[in-house]
Amino acid sequence: MALKEEEDIYEEQDLYEHHRFIADKGQMPMRLDKFVTMRIENATRTKVQKGIEIGSVLVNDKVIKSNYQVKPGDVITVVLPNPPRNPELIAENIPIEIVFEDDQIILVNKAAGMVVHPGYNNYTGTLVNALLYHFKGLPEYSDEMRPGLVHRIDKDTSGLLLVAKTEDALVFLAKQFYDHTISRIYTALVWGDVKEDKGTIRGNLARDPRDRRLSAVFEDPGIGKHAVTHYKVLERFGFCTLVECQLETGRTHQIRAHMKHLGHPLFADESYGGLKILKSSKLPKYEQFIENCFKIMPRQALHARTLGFIHPGSRQKMDFEVDLPEDFSTVLDKLRMYVHQVDS
């Protein structure tokens, strides 16, 4: 009986999101509903305002209104209902680029802008919806919302993504990702002139306490998950640098957070400071040029270029590589022309 009661408690807790934020010393006055919305992933302002109305959001243990101005030191606690776990997945006829396929695996070159799997307020138009249409019987393993998936890449990151077609393949490939034996190399355009030609970034990653939708680097080894990124400079443009990033681990937003921590956020990465134009007084029509580049590539300049793994059937090593997408390559061409004109 005690065990059953304990299970019921955990099931009930799983229905809700529990959050606790402490406004830091430098917190500027901000409406409570905006403060909370910015810090909870996938939370809409309407959902947060409703929670405030019914007393699910407290400030210093008191019920407060949405227009309350959050101040330094305020403790905000939030209990909001989680979205349903298992909404019906819909197969959709969405075109996808298949790089390789056999009876065990599918390798997809994901376009920038496509979400990998369904989530809160986002149950259609994803790669999973497309996979369900083009392929039948993908294994679910432990998550019905992610059939066949053994890893993921961000919505606005382009490039290679591996999908399993059988349960055995899924388990075999998932073990490789868990053991960090998968080879993954990304191409990234970052702000600034990276000092060293190559290097390694080591820093634990966890949710950013100021915005839970993002990852942040923590020096304290007791916080977050171990993360290592190796980088190498491919091309220099003075005010930005093209780099290659090889993942030793695979954490959420790893390259984006690590490069920001290094002082070189990804070009056009809105979430990690990449829309802030690096100052330069020497270049003609510089800001206009950068704004035009942002219009061509309105997303973080990150592409999953290579993927290497042991095939679950043959047990042979397989390596794949895909070219940069058109938006990325166009921006690079413009950078080369712009820098060449300035130098000549």
Q: Report the first-to-last Cα separation within the chain, whole angstroms.
A: 81
Per the residue annotation, which of 33, 154, 208, 327 is the catalytic one?
A: 154
The residue assigned the tokens 């961000």 is 154
Task: Assess whether 74 carries a catalytic annotation.
Answer: no
Alpha carbon distance 149, 328 (integer Å): 26
One-letter identity of residue 325 = P
Asked whether the beta carbons of 110 and 95 are under 8 A apart, the reply is: no
What is the 3 state secondary structure string of the chain?
CHHHHHHHHHHHHCCEEEEEEECCCCCCCEEHHHHHHHHCCCCCHHHHHHHHHCCCEEECCEECCCCCEECCCCEEEEEEECCCCCCCCCCCCCCCEEEEECCCEEEEEECCCCCCCCECCECCCCHHHHHHHHCCCCCCCCCCCCCCECCCCCCCCEEEEEEECCHHHHHHHHHHHHCCCCEEEEEEEEECCCCCCEEEEECEEEEECCEEEEEEEECCCCCCECCEEEEEEEEECCCEEEEEEEECCCCCCHHHHHHHHHCCCECCCHHHCCCCCCCCCCCCCHHHHHHHHHHHCCCCCEEEEEEEEECCCCCCEEEEECCCCHHHHHHHHHHHHHHHHHHC
Provide the annotated active-site residues: 154
